[in-house]
Structure formats: C-alpha cells, structure tokens
C-alpha cells in the first residue's frame, strides 16, 4: 500500500474521491499491428497529460500518434507507442514500469497556488524570459515542470505572490 502525504486542508471525502480517481492504465499489443496502445483514463487535472508524456519519453519511446479527449472533468489519452527502432513494446519490465508510473500519477493539489500551463514553440532563452517576467511581477515560483521535444515546449509552473505569501488572485 502506498502511503500518501495528504495536505491538511483535505477532508476524508476529498481524499476518497482522489483515491477513487487514480489513473487507469491499459497497455494493449493486440489492437494495432505496428504500435502498442497505451490508454490512460482518469479525472482531469492540470499537468496530467504532461506527466503521462514524460513517462513515455523518459523511456526513450516514440509516440507515433495520440488521441486526447476530455469532457472537462474526465480525460482519456490513447498513445500509439513504439521503441526507438519502431517496434511494439515487448519487454515486460518496460510495460510494467509504464503501468506503475502512470497508475501512480495522483490527482494533484496546489495548496492555494496558481498553476500556469504554457505550451508553444521552444527557443533558446525562452524559460529565462518567462521566469524574468514572473520575477518582475513579484511571483514566487514554487514548482515547475518542463518538457521539450522537437522544438516544442510544455510547462506547468506553480506560483504565489512574493509580497503577501498569498496565491495570485484571478482577475
């Protein structure tokens, strides 16, 4: 059993909902002749797609095609994945790692922080400029996750107001 360090702000019902909505991961080698299908189904939250893609790219796998769908509260992602030489995934330890890693992505909480999700074309100095703007706005970057691939960038940045220590208010 995995021990979860819950934020003190969550009541028992919220904890139950979070645990019930952990991602469901299905890996199928039978449906497609040229790729392994990795399906992730869960409650939607900021950064979960980024985390799922990161698991696959950390293993040096190629995502040949992906279908991303969401109804606003739930999402389902289907990735067509191969190894670096274009073959289906056959290594049981890699398949088990994907199932465990994606299955352990938990519904996140921000502890009152503001989440900024940025995607676009990557270039030299881009992150430096983004963090400089956040610094000029007196934002304290508490956590950041960044992924780059083939000239594209995706990031999830959690910030709070430096002066008051309070979250940035939406305007």
Would you kindly state where each structural domain of the chain is located, as residue ranges?
A: 12-103, 114-161
Average pLDDT for the chain:
79
Sheet holding 114-121, edge to edge: 114-121, 152-161, 139-149
Position with higher pLDDT, 123 vs 111: 123
Number of Cβ within 10 Å of residue 55's Cβ equals 20
Angle, alpha carbons 23-65-101 (nearest 5°): 30
Same fold, 12-103 and 114-161: yes
Instruction: Read off the tokens for 122.
Output: 């990557």
The model scores a pTM over 0.75: no
Q: What is the band of 142 on the pLDDT scale with cuts at 50, 70, 90?
A: confident
pLDDT at 107: 46
Position with higher pLDDT, 47 vs 89: 89
- pLDDT above 80 (res 43): no
CATH architecture label of 12-103 = 2-Layer Sandwich (3.30)
CATH architecture label of 114-161 = 2-Layer Sandwich (3.30)
Position with higher pLDDT, 5 vs 8: 8
pLDDT at 113: 72
pLDDT at 8: 64
pLDDT at 91: 93
Sheet holding 74-82, edge to edge: 24-28, 36-43, 74-82, 62-70
Determine the longest span between alpha carbons in the chain, in angstroms.
57
Half-sphere exposure for 72 (CA within 13 Å, toward CB): 0
């Amino acid at each position: 059993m995995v021990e979860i360090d819950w934020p003190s702000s969550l009541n028992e019902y919220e904890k139950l909902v979070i645990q019930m909505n952990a991602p469901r991961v299905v890996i199928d080698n039978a449906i497609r002749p040229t790729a392994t299908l990795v399906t992730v189904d869960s409650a939607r939250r900021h950064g979960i797609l980024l985390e799922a893609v990161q698991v696959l790219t950390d293993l040096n796998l190629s995502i040949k095609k992906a279908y991303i769908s969401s109804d606003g509260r739930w999402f389902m992602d289907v990735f067509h994945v191969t190894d670096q030489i274009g073959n289906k995934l056959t290594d049981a330890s890699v398949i088990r790692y994907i199932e465990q890693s994606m299955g352990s992505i938990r519904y996140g909480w921000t502890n009152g922080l503001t989440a900024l999700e940025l995607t676009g074309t990557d270039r030299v100095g881009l992150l430096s400029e983004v963090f400089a703007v956040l610094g000029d706005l007196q934002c304290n970057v508490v956590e950041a996750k960044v992924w780059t691939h083939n000239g594209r960038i995706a990031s999830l940045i959690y910030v709070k107001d430096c002066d008051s220590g309070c979250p940035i208010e939406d305007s």
